[in-house]
Amino acid sequence: MSFDYDLFVIGGGSGGVRAARVAAAEGAKVALAEDSRLGGTCVIRGCVPKKLMVFASEYSGAFEDARAYGWDVQEGDFSWSRFQTKLHAELNRLEGVYRRLLDNSSVQIFDARAKLKDPHTVVLSTGEEKTAKHILIATGGRPVRPPMDGAELGMVSDDIFDLETLPETILIVGGGYIASEFACILNGLGVKVTQYYRGEQILRGFDLEARNLVSDMIKASGVDLQLGNNIATMTAADGGAVHVVATDGSETTFDKVLFATGRSPNTYDLGLEDAGIEMGLKGEVLVDEYSQTNIPSVYAIGDVTDRVQLTPVAIREGMAFVETVFKGNPTPVDHDLIPSAIFTQPEMGTVGLSEEDAAAQEPIEVYATSFKPMNTAFAGRDDKVLMKLVVSKATRVVLGCHIVAPGAGEMIQLAGVAIKMGATKEDFDRVCAVHPTMSEELVTMKAPVRTT
C-alpha cells in the first residue's frame, strides 16, 4: 500500500517535534499537524514562561538582600505589562525556532487540527485527508477545572500568562507543583496569595521531610497556605471578583481564583475510539514499553500517555520511538531514576525514592542536614535548606536524593548522574567537598540521622 507519508505526527510540542525531526533525518517523509502553537505546553504555556516568571519574582527578595550586603538599592514597582510584553516576544521567538527546525528538516507542517479516521488515515480541520504508514500521537495534556458549580469563574494555569493586569488578591486551589510554584511566583510579584489544599501537606508523592520544609518556607514568605481546606461554593462578585465560601466556613472575596487541581490527557475528539485505540480511565492512550498502542501503526508519547509528565521525558520517548520504528533498534523507554525540580521558593530537586517509599521497600539509612545557607543568613533571613540522601542498608546504594535550596534544580541534575550510575554512599564520601557551598553537605554527612 502506498502512503502519503512514512510518519504523521499529531501534536507540535517538544516530544512530537523532536520525533518528527529525527525521523526525517533518517530519510522518512514526515508531516506534523498542530492546531495551536508550535512548542506545546512547555514552550508556550508551561515550563519556559513559568521559569521566566520565577526569575522575575525573585527580584523582590534580591533587592532586600542587596541592601543587607551594603548596596544602596531602591526597590521599585514591578511592571507586569513591561514584563509580559517581553515574555510574549520571547515565546514568539521560540515558536519561530521550532518552525524553522521543522522546515529545515523537511517536515511538512499543517497548522490545523488532526484526528484519526482509521489506523493509517488522519483528517485535518481543513477537510484534507492524509495517509501515513505510522501515526504518532503527541497531543500532550491540558489543565482541568474541578467538577463544581461556578468552576467557570476560576482560571487555569494557561490563563496566567495572558492576564491584562496582575490581581491584588488571588486564591490558588491545589497542592501540586503547579499550584505551589504559582503561589510563590505571584507572592514574589506582590500579589496577596491564599492557597487552599484539601490534603494534609502539599506536593503529595514527594519526600515528606522535603515537603514539610517547602511548606514552611512558603508560609514564611507570606503565602496564606491553608491545609485541609477547599472551596465549598463560589459565586461571582462585583468587578469580576469571586466570592468563595470555604469548607472551614470562612468567606472571602478574591480578585481571581486559579485552579491548579490536575491535568488531563488531550485525547478529546481525536477519533481514537473510532480507530480502535485503547485508552485508560483518565482518557490516556495506553501504550507498551515501546510507546506502541494496541493498533500496530499508531504510537503515542508524552503527557497524552500519562506516564511521566515531564518535557525531557517526552523528548526521550520520541527518540526511543524513532530508534524502534525507523532505525530498526527496538528501544524501550527508560522511566527509572528521572531527576526533577519543583520551582517553588526555595526550589526542590529530587531523584529516586522518597524516604517513605524506600523504607517500604527495604531497610534504609537516612543522611540529612538542614541549615541556614550563608548568603541569606548574612542578609538576616531565616531561610533553611535541606540536603538528604536515602541509602540502602544492604547494598549501600543511594536510593534517593532530595534537595530543598536555591538552585536545587541545578544540583539535582548532577546528583542524578551519580545516582543513575548506581553510586553508593561511600562513592559520595570519597568526593572532596567544594567549599563553601551548600551542596558540599551531600559528600560530608558521615552518620545517619535515622535508620529503618
pLDDT (tens digit, 9 = 90+) per residue, 27-82?
999 999 999 999 999 999 999 999 999 999 999 999 999 999 999 988 789 999 99
User: What would the mean pLDDT of 442-447 be, rounded to a whole number?
Assistant: 97
pLDDT score for 74: 84
Phi, psi of 91 (to 5 degrees): -65, -40
Report the CATH number of the 5-142+264-325 domain: 3.50.50.60
Return the pLDDT at 153.
Answer: 97
pLDDT greater than 90 at residue 1: no
pLDDT score, position 7: 98
* Parts of the chain belonging to CATH 3.30.390.30: 340-451
How confident is the model at residue 59, as a pLDDT?
94
User: Strands, DSSP E only, in 183-250?
Assistant: 192-197, 224-227, 231-236, 242-246
For residues 105 and 202, give the distance between their C-alpha atoms in angstroms, rounded to a whole number. 43
Overall average pLDDT of the 322-348 stretch: 97
Interatomic CA distance for residues 397 and 415, integer angstroms: 13
- Length of the chain equals 452
pLDDT in tens, 206-251: 999 999 999 999 999 999 999 999 999 999 999 999 999 999 999 9
Q: 39, 88 in Cβ contact below 8 A?
A: no
Tens digits of residue pLDDT in 399-436? 999 999 999 999 999 999 999 999 999 999 999 999 99
* Helical (H) or strand (E) element with 114: strand 114-118
Measure the CA angle with vertex 156, ends 154 and 159; round to 5°: 100
Q: Report the relative pairing of strands 364-371 and 385-392 from DSSP bridges.
A: antiparallel
pLDDT, tens digit (0-9, with 9 covering 90-100), for 146-177: 999 999 999 999 999 999 999 999 999 999 99
Residues near 237 by Cβ (< 8 Å), separated by ≥ 6? 243, 253
Q: Find the catalytic residue in 120, 335, 402, 435.
A: 435
435 is catalytic: yes
* CATH class assigned to 340-451: alpha beta
Give CATH superfamily name and number for 151-261: FAD/NAD(P)-binding domain (3.50.50.60)
Q: Read off the pTM.
A: 0.96
Q: How far apart are CA 390 and CA 412, in angstroms?
A: 14
Output the average pLDDT for the chain: 97
Strand ranges (DSSP E) for 206-314? 224-227, 231-236, 242-246, 251-254, 256-259, 263-265, 298-300
Residue 287 has pLDDT above 90, yes or no: yes
Q: Which three cell numbers stand for residue 316?
A: 526521550
pLDDT tens track for 390-399: 999 999 999 9
Coil vs helix vs strand at 442:
helix
Provide CATH 3.50.50.60 ranges for the chain. 5-142+264-325, 151-261
pLDDT of 75 reads 78
Mean pLDDT for 286-304 is 98
pLDDT tens track for 176-188: 999 999 999 999 9
